[in-house]
Structures are given as structure tokens and as C-alpha cells.
């Protein structure tokens, strides 16, 4: 059996997160990241222009964390 770092859709797999991989994207000067630490998935948005965190949410399930990450732009607007 071979563990894959990425899913068929090109996303990082649970195994990939366990190996330390991170998903990250930018909306202008705002960076949003998804990563796993101690079996908890974290989604964090940070504004690099004014050097402040916009939000940081933690999830047990990768599916819930991905929903937050995928809707990051709407979440960023809602928190500002």
C-alpha cells in the first residue's frame, strides 16, 4: 500500500498534512493557511499589510477545515 501526499483532486491528503504539508493561498495582502498540528486542523488568515491575524479556527475533521479554507475570502470580509 502506498500513502499519497495529494488526493485525486490535487488537494493535500490527511497523510500529507500528517507529514507537515500546508495549503496556503493569498487574497491580496491576506494569506490564508490550512495545516494540521497534534491531530487538529487549523485555518488561519493573516493580513501582512497591517500585521494582524484576522481569524484562527481549529477543527477535528479535515472536511470542516476545508470548508472554512475554501470559503476563506468570504470569511475574511466577514471578520473585517
Domain that holds residue 33: 23-79
pLDDT in tens, 1-25: 467 999 999 999 999 999 999 999 9
Domain count, the chain: 1
pLDDT in tens, 55-78: 999 999 999 999 999 998 787 777
Q: Could you tell me if residue 75 is inside a domain?
A: yes
Q: Could you tell me if residue 12 is inside a domain?
A: no
Q: Could you tell me if residue 13 is inside a domain?
A: no
Residues 6+ apart with CB under 8 A from 35: 17, 21, 22, 23, 41, 42
Q: Whose CA is closest to 58, among 36, 32, 27?
A: 36
Q: What is the pLDDT of residue 2?
A: 66
Q: What is the pLDDT of residue 28?
A: 86
Prediction pTM value: 0.87
Q: Could you tell me if residue 35 is inside a domain?
A: yes
Q: Could you tell me if residue 7 is inside a domain?
A: no
The band of 79, judged by pLDDT with boundaries at 50, 70 and 90, is low
Residues 28, 29, 33, CA angle at the centre, nearest 5°? 95
Amino acid at each position: 500500500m502506498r500513502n499519497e501526499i495529494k488526493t485525486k483532486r490535487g488537494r493535500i491528503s490527511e497523510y500529507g498534512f500528517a507529514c507537515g504539508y500546508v495549503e496556503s493561498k493569498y487574497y491580496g495582502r491576506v494569506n490564508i493557511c490550512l495545516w494540521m498540528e497534534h491531530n487538529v486542523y487549523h485555518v488561519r488568515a493573516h493580513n501582512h499589510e497591517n500585521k494582524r491575524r484576522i481569524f484562527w479556527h481549529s477543527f477535528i475533521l479535515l472536511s470542516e477545515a476545508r470548508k472554512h479554507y475554501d470559503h476563506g475570502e468570504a470569511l475574511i470580509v466577514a471578520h473585517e
